[in-house]
Amino acid sequence: MFGLAAKLRFGLSLSRRTAIIFVAGLWSMMAANQIGWAQTTASAGEAESLAAWGKIVEVLKHPRCLNCHQDKGPLQGDSRRVHIPTVERGANGLGVGTMRCYNCHNGRNNEMAGVPGAIGWSLAPAEMLWEGKSSAQLCELLKTPARYHGAFPEAINRHMADEHLVVWGWEPGRGRKPVPIPHTEFVNLVKVWVSGGLACPQP
């Protein structure tokens, strides 16, 4: 009996050692993969950054983005028609007088009325006017540190990933086409653009 018990204890001990070695190996593989991913992202060069921008700018010029990056007033719909009723920007991008954005637009889409909405609904800041800008001009505009709150350039990644009005472009409500590429893909493109040095096309 003693011999059997000893063998059992030895077997259990061996099993524990095997399990520990297995878990340690698995952890090392996971860590290596994470490091590899980080190195790939960090080592994105100018060519990768520029290629990523070529796809990013297509999103930025989509009606979901461009309609609110206007000067005097917002545009509406996929056809980018003049906003009805007439709305003017105002000093803070929220309209003037009784015609304020928040009078109609709430923190989420109103599917019954067909009115879009998201937290902080307003026109984009006046200094972020996109209408009529070339890809090169828009690129230079977006890479200006003063446009963002927080550490630069990480603030660009956070803005594109988390800002409510940005994310709304992928969930615009009925009657409006969402941005055609997945939001996760767009965020990854922005990360490559940033990590590769914020490369911009020639004017």
**Residues 15, 57: one domain?**
no
Range of the domain at 2: 1-33
Residue 3: per-residue pLDDT: 52
For the segment 62-90, the average pLDDT, to the nearest whole number, is: 94
CB atoms within 10 A of CB 28: 10
Task: Please indicate, yes or no, if residue 55 is contained in any of the structural domains.
Answer: yes
Residue 95: per-residue pLDDT: 93
Task: Please indicate, yes or no, if residue 188 is contained in any of the structural domains.
Answer: yes
**Residues 56, 14: one domain?**
no
**Residues 143, 170: one domain?**
yes
Task: Please indicate, yes or no, if residue 40 is contained in any of the structural domains.
Answer: no
Residue 162 in contact with residue 143, Cβ under 8 Å? no
**Residues 24, 49: one domain?**
no
| pLDDT band with cut points at 50, 70 and 90 for residue 150 | confident
Rounded CA separation 60/55 (Å): 9
Condensed to tens digits (0 to 9), the pLDDT of residues 6-18 reads 443 434 343 444 4
Q: Where are the beta strands (DSSP E) in 107-177?
A: none
**Residues 51, 27: one domain?**
no
Task: Please indicate, yes or no, if residue 203 is contained in any of the structural domains.
Answer: no
Q: What percent of the chain stands above pLDDT 70? A: 78
Task: Please indicate, yes or no, if residue 201 is contained in any of the structural domains.
Answer: no
Task: Please indicate, yes or no, if residue 1 is contained in any of the structural domains.
Answer: yes
| pLDDT band with cut points at 50, 70 and 90 for residue 93 | very high
**Residues 90, 179: one domain?**
yes
Residue 197: per-residue pLDDT: 95
- For residue 76, list its beta bridge partners: 81
**Residues 26, 125: one domain?**
no
Task: Please indicate, yes or no, if residue 62 is contained in any of the structural domains.
Answer: yes
Task: Please indicate, yes or no, if residue 160 is contained in any of the structural domains.
Answer: yes
Identity (one letter) of the amino acid at 194? V
**Residues 113, 163: one domain?**
yes
**Residues 128, 105: one domain?**
yes
Residue 43: per-residue pLDDT: 52
For the segment 83-97, the average pLDDT, to the nearest whole number, is: 92
Number of domains in the chain: 2
Q: Burial-class residue 1 by CB neighbours within 10 Å (0-12, 13-18, 19+).
A: exposed
Residue 179: per-residue pLDDT: 97
Condensed to tens digits (0 to 9), the pLDDT of residues 151-203 reads 899 999 999 999 999 999 999 999 899 999 999 999 999 999 999 999 999 98
**Residues 28, 92: one domain?**
no
Residue 147: per-residue pLDDT: 87
**Residues 53, 10: one domain?**
no
**Residues 20, 88: one domain?**
no
Mean pLDDT of the chain: 83
Residue 149: per-residue pLDDT: 83
